[in-house]
Amino acid sequence: MSDIKNFSQCPVCNYLCEVTLRPDTQHYGEIRCPDHGHRWVPKPNPEKRAKRKSNLKLKKAIPGNYNDFCELCLRSESLLGSLNPSLLLEVHHVIEVQELGSDDPENLRLLCSECHELIHARRRSFNRYQSHDP
């Protein structure tokens, strides 16, 4: 099985280093910093990710005239709230944070939870066909 390459900041010096994901070990991956050497990267904690409350902060970065509707299906926030079950507007990163995407307004889109999940489901289906360098 070939290793998948990714990048992350060194926890000591914040230098952007290559991370080799290691699905064959108990760890998420290993990071090799030129200054601090080898370190193991722990597996992501799903509970920690679920508690992330930055959606409101990121929503404020989106220009005001885009804050009331889903940019994909164009349903308004009031219509989404009246559905059963109701849907929320969520901030979507065009270039994902783990792919070094930023929180700049140009990289953010406001989507309803249905459209947001649709985009990520489509990404997952395409990503499984990508080839990775050995």
Looking at the structure, tell me whether residues 32 and 63 fall in a common domain.
no
Q: CB–CB of 31/19 below 8 Å?
A: yes
Predicted local distance difference test score (pLDDT) of residue 23: 67
Does any domain span residue 114? yes
Please give the tally of structural domains in the chain: 2
Q: What is the pTM of this model?
A: 0.54
Looking at the structure, tell me whether residues 35 and 73 fall in a common domain.
no
Looking at the structure, tell me whether residues 58 and 25 fall in a common domain.
no
pLDDT of 72-128, one tens digit each? 999 998 999 898 888 989 999 998 888 888 888 888 999 999 999 999 888 888 776
Looking at the structure, tell me whether residues 32 and 77 fall in a common domain.
no
Domain that holds residue 17: 4-41
Residue 46 makes CB contacts below 8 A (sequence gap 6+) with none
Does any domain span residue 37? yes
Looking at the structure, tell me whether residues 94 and 72 fall in a common domain.
yes
Q: What average pLDDT score do residues 36-63 get?
A: 64
Q: What average pLDDT score do residues 3-30 get?
A: 68
Q: What is the mean pLDDT of the chain?
A: 75
Looking at the structure, tell me whether residues 35 and 58 fall in a common domain.
no
pLDDT-based confidence at 62, cuts 50/70/90?
confident
Looking at the structure, tell me whether residues 63 and 119 fall in a common domain.
yes
Looking at the structure, tell me whether residues 76 and 37 fall in a common domain.
no
Which residues sit opposite 125 in a β-bridge? none
Closest C-alpha to 17, from 26, 27, 7: 7
Does any domain span residue 46? no
Instruction: Using alpha carbons only, give the angle 42, 48, 51 rounded to the nearest 5 degrees.
Output: 165
